[in-house]
Chains A and B, each alone.
Chain A
Amino acid sequence: MTSVFRRILALMGKEFLALLKDRRSRFVLIVPPLIQLLVFGYAATFDLKNVPYALFNEDAGYAARDLAAALRGSPSFTEVAQLSHSGEIAPLINSKEALMVVRIGPRFSADLLSGRTAPLQVIVDGRNSNTALLVVNYVRAIVDQFNRDWAEAHGTRLPPAYIETRAWFNPNLESRWFFLPGIVGLLTLLVTLLVTSLSVAREREQGTFDQLLVTPMRPVEILIGKALPGFIIGIVEASLIVAATVFWFGVPLMGSLLTLYVGVLLFLLSAVGVGLMISSLAVTQQQGMLGAFFFMVPAIILSGFATPIANMPWLIQQLTLLNPMRYFLVVLRGVFLEGTPFQLLIPQLWPMAAIGLVALATAAWLFRHRMY
């Protein structure tokens, strides 16, 4: 039995050497994921800041001035131009200099003072429809506030019902809180694939895998020796990334660290398994890399990271059931933001374990059965 361990340890040592002896490879494994966490952590947000807009105010009244001041005072908007005729609108929006034009008509103040509804027009660049939707929502919030203030000051009748909103788990609706746990998943997957997806393919291409197969090592032992470095590097990087998410970005970690690590371990099992499976299916490193991309890109885009799975058509929703990222993201967001207890996450945990075991078994089988 001890000889088994010794053999596995020896292979593991060799794997670590292969990964870390090359200065560039060492650098690639350690530095970029951390830089990417910082850059992506700041980049991935749906909260708008400094949206450039232009004001087209045809009304000299003070009500129009008040509304313009409210817009100018909002941190979400930056005024880039004041227009004086409608011909200026199209070029400004077309060239993306302004994402929105707010038009206050000439009768705005007069309408308001005489008790009629005063129209306010916004023209939004819809090239990115999500941003457009958010911009309109932001303006609507400003207008709602203006309406309440106006009604209060002028004794206008208010509607008989109003909406009182409360957001659970993320009271300020900061979308960064939603994306950062997701980025933990993205980068963990990335690092694991870096370590595993080329490891068998490289040996096959260089012919050393055949030598490995004629040693006394059984496929299971080779599998363990190849999988463990991915696990160890994955855990170290995941821990670093989780720590940075909590301490640098200040995302609250509501749930238990233990539950989080169970999730990380099971996800690594599935990611290492898929990585090794791809790698042992590939005959050349080019094919290995292709396989890694063919898995990684759909795994990320169809994981619910940026666009919810609930919005997908039924067939694609079924496909995502094979995607370990999908489960991991639910675990990450649940543990980070909602403090979800372990029992509620079991439906997410066992599929990752199942995917991992099937993939690892396939990889071990391929070791001997895909020979050229």
Chain B
Amino acid sequence: MSEAPPTPAAAPSGGGASMRLRGLMRKEFLQIMRDPSSIAIAFLMPLVLLLLFGYGVSLDAKNIPIALVVEQPSADTASFTASFQGSRYFRPSRYNDLQQAEAAMMAGRVDAIVVLRQDFERQLQQAGGTPIQLIVNGVDANTARIVMGYVEGAWGTWLQQTARLSGQSFDAPVSLTQRVWFNSELESRNYLVPGLIAVIMTLIGALLTAMVMAREWERGTMEALLVTPLAMREVILGKLLPYFILGMGGLALSVSMAIWLFEVPLRGSLWVLFVASALFLITALGMGLLISTVAKNQFVAGQIAIITTFLPAFLLSGFIFDIGSMPVVVQAITHIVAARYYVAILQTVFLAGDVWSVILPNAGALVVLAAVFLGLTRRNARKRLE
């Protein structure tokens, strides 16, 4: 039981405030315990979602079904198609003519077609070189680009082999060497899992609190609460703290899964991750509280929470889509999405280390957002009484 009964030893000497606060927190805890959905939100949700998404979400295309059309087989075409057979990126299948292959692409059975024309062999000897035709299904442009990159890779390998066999060299004037820092294997899971934690924590933070104040308004118990000596600031604190503790529990679970289950390297320090997460959780909970004071009833609060949490955190946080490539207006909008700052911190702390020039500005932005959300909550809640 995570219920926190007031221990007499901790009782303050003359502070009625902290006693009142403890009373309210105790009530919140009891409410949490009686409706198991809060506990489900804090622990079950990160567990299930991270398991599903950690395994399910990947941008690394493997076993891409591809059609090979060789119009006139020869030794050279065989050596070229062999480079596809061994690749783990492709699942090649042979087609006798282009029409069949095109029909297969129409039906979605293959994502790309590689065509070696009838005169492949003859043109190979000519100055201009021979074309290798590649037709990709461009609907999923990202996968299409990846396929193009892989085919180019297979082509490059084949060229070198041919050169070695014939004793010639076809070295390109400039050769590109790439060094990818922080994630040299280009493993997409390493950046998607930290991003998923940010998305999941956004949901948890808002879900935990979005309904809380709205429920009190709806049932009229908020008025009752306000005629007690509790100040508004204490009411907000009393609502925030129990859920904060729950949320941090869920967060610890997510981070453990990222490190031990998904084996994302943690190159920064744990305490930076912890402090940044605490800041983010306060912001997310604050946003939930704000929603519940603006809405005043659970129905509207639920609706606002559904609209404002998941999709913005998913699409506007830089979790998948690069913020720098968005139009300026949309970039400006991303600044009010708390997940944006948290994603930047998480990806940096996990993959790069404690880079203060990234962590500090983003943490600062989280502090500002948290202050704005909680300040607005306090103002909105007070206004209602007038």
Contacts and interface: CB of A to CB of B under 8 A. Distances in A.
Interface of A: 22, 24-25, 28-29, 32-33, 36, 39-40, 42-52, 67, 91, 93-96, 99, 112, 117-134, 136-137, 139-140, 143, 146-147, 150-151, 154, 156-171, 173-175, 177-178, 186, 190, 193-194, 197-198, 202, 205, 284-290, 292-294, 296-298, 300-302, 306-308, 310-313, 315-316, 319, 333, 337-338, 344
Interface in B93-151: 105-107, 124-125, 127-146, 148-149, 151
Contacts of B41: 290
Nearest to A132: B180
B325 interface: yes
Contacts of B179: 121-124
Contact of B52 (A156, A170, A307, A316): A316
A175 B311 contact: no
A140 to B, nearest CB: 6
A184 B83 CA distance: 40
Interface residues of B, number: 119
23 contacts: A28-B304, A39-B316, A43-B315, A45-B326, A46-B321, A49-B324, A51-B324, A112-B173, A122-B176, A124-B179, A124-B181, A128-B191, A130-B142, A158-B128, A159-B170, A160-B170, A162-B129, A177-B139, A286-B215, A288-B302, A300-B310, A307-B57, A308-B59
A133 B58 CA distance: 14
A287 B355 CA distance: 40
Contacts of A96: 344, 348, 357-358
A173 B325 contact: no
A134 B145 contact: yes
Nearest to B326: A43
B305 interface: yes
Given A290-B40, A316-B52, A190 B306 contact: yes
A49 B183 contact: no
A364 to B, nearest CB: 22
B177 A122 contact: yes
Interface in B345-360: 347-348, 351-353, 355, 357-358
Interface string B292-313: 0011011110111111101110
B13 interface: no
A150 B324 contact: no
A40 B58 CA distance: 21
Interface of B: 35, 37, 40-41, 45, 48-49, 52-53, 55-64, 80, 105-107, 124-125, 127-146, 148-149, 151-152, 155, 159, 162, 168, 170-184, 186-188, 190-192, 203, 207, 210-211, 215, 294-295, 297-300, 302-308, 310-312, 314-316, 318, 320-322, 324-327, 329-330, 333-334, 344, 347-348, 351-353, 355, 357-358
A297 B313 CA distance: 11
Contacts of B351: 126-127
Contacts of B316: 39-40, 43
Given A167-B137, A310-B63, 16 more contacts: A25-B299, A36-B311, A43-B315, A46-B142, A124-B178, A126-B184, A127-B348, A129-B186, A133-B149, A137-B145, A161-B129, A165-B148, A178-B140, A307-B57, A312-B55, A338-B106
Given A24-B300, A164-B131, A118 B141 contact: no
Contacts of A120: 174-177
A261 B358 CA distance: 47
B177 A121 contact: yes
A175 B178 contact: no
Contact of A313 (B56, B61, B305): B56
Given A123-B181, A133-B146, A190-B306, A95 B355 contact: yes
A91 B353 CA distance: 12
Query: Quick one: which of B80, B170, B302 has the most chain A CB within 10 A?
Result: B302
Nearest to B154: A163
A165 B146 CA distance: 13
Given A94-B355, A169-B138, A175-B142, A302 B315 contact: no
Contact of B180 (A28, A112, A124, A337): A124
B343 to A, nearest CB: 9
A46 B141 contact: yes
B330 A42 contact: yes
Contact of A161 (B49, B61, B131, B295): B131
Contacts of B181: 93, 123-126
A95 B134 CA distance: 39
Give the one of A29, A67, A290, A302 with max B CB within 10 A. Answer: A290
Contacts of A136: 176, 178, 180
B255 to A, nearest CB: 17
Contacts of A177: 139, 141
Contact of B151 (A52, A99, A163, A311): A163
B300 A127 contact: no
Contacts of A337: 139
Nearest to B80: A161
Nearest to A40: B315
Contacts of A45: 321, 325-326
B55 A313 contact: yes
B383 to A, nearest CB: 15
Contacts of A150: 173-174
B131 A312 contact: no
A337 B145 CA distance: 17
